[in-house]
Amino acid sequence: MNNDAYHNDSLSHKGRLFRVSLYFDDIAGPPWFECDGHGPVREIRTRSDKRPGERIMYSHRGGMWAYDWQEAMRIAKRDAWGCAKTGAEIEATVRADYESIRGWIRDDWHWCGVSVQLLDNDDEPLGGEFDYTLWGVESSGDYWLDVARDLADDILHDRAKAWRSHLHEARQVRYWASRDIVTTVQTGELKNGNRQTYIV
């Protein structure tokens, strides 16, 4: 995993300032292996290796990637990709998948890790660099920004939870301290001449 951020940005969220860092995720594999909702893709050597229903997505340095459009249409209809129902909707969804995968193959986008840190009043980060990080995020568009906001929410939630826990503990300490009673033993003489011991 590459631990050098290739992009740093600031994020103002719910009245607090955060640092957002993006890292290359070199562990995540091809999209069609990493998650569902993709058509079948395979690497071939020549165009003659292409099967019926397949389309050549990309060719580079003697390698080619073929996308099984026909099978993708069948899967998209079966699984209702993007809630597509009509033939035109299904075809549009498959085309979007085709373009997305081709973009990954051509390095138009990549998988990345999104890390978020809360900043103090001096703009110094609080907590570790990777305490709140999500890997396997698509770098295309601004989806990483939605992920950053979710991580910022997690930070604020955890800090509020920790604060409430510390407050509860402090109240418990004060409560039990107030219950501590200093006792002394006194002995007095009763009217009948007997002596009685009192705990005060």
Q: Which one, of 168, 41, 169, lies nearest residue 94 by Cα?
A: 41
**Predicted confidence (pLDDT) per residue in 61-99, tens digit:** 778 999 999 999 999 999 999 888 899 999 999 999 999
Q: How far apart are the first and last CA of the chain?
A: 68
Residues of the chain with pLDDT > 70, as a percent, come to 88
> What CA–CA distance (Å, rounded) separates 53 from 70?
5
Residue 188 is predicted with a pLDDT of 57
Per-domain boundaries in the chain = 1-25+112-200, 27-109
**Predicted confidence (pLDDT) per residue in 96-126, tens digit:** 999 999 999 999 999 999 999 999 999 999 9
Q: What is the rounded (10 degree) CA torsion for 34, 36, 38, 39?
A: 100
Q: Which one, of 113, 159, 104, 110, lies nearest residue 134 by Cα?
A: 113
Residue 177 is predicted with a pLDDT of 76
User: With contact defined as beta carbons under 8 Å apart, do 137 and 143 qualify?
Assistant: yes
> Residues 6 or more apart from 92 whose CB is under 8 A from it?
84
38 vs 3, residue with greater confidence: 38
**Predicted confidence (pLDDT) per residue in 24-48, tens digit:** 999 999 999 998 999 999 999 999 9
Res 187 pLDDT > 60: no
Residue 174 is predicted with a pLDDT of 79
191 vs 167, residue with greater confidence: 167
119 vs 140, residue with greater confidence: 119
Residue 93 is predicted with a pLDDT of 96
Torsions phi, psi of 101, nearest 5? -65, -40
Residue 14 is predicted with a pLDDT of 96
Residue 172 is predicted with a pLDDT of 79
Residue 33 is predicted with a pLDDT of 94
Residue 60 is predicted with a pLDDT of 83
Cα–chain center distance at 198: 65
Torsions phi, psi of 83, nearest 5? 60, 25
Q: Are strands 7-13 and 16-24 parallel, antiparallel or unpaired?
A: antiparallel
Cβ burial 33-61 (10 Å sphere, 16+ → b, else e): eeeeebbebeebeeeeeeeeebeebbeee
> What CA–CA distance (Å, rounded) separates 68 from 169?
60
Distances (CA, A) of 98 to 8, 54, 68, 138: 30, 11, 9, 15
The model's confidence at residue 195, banded by pLDDT at 50, 70 and 90, is: low
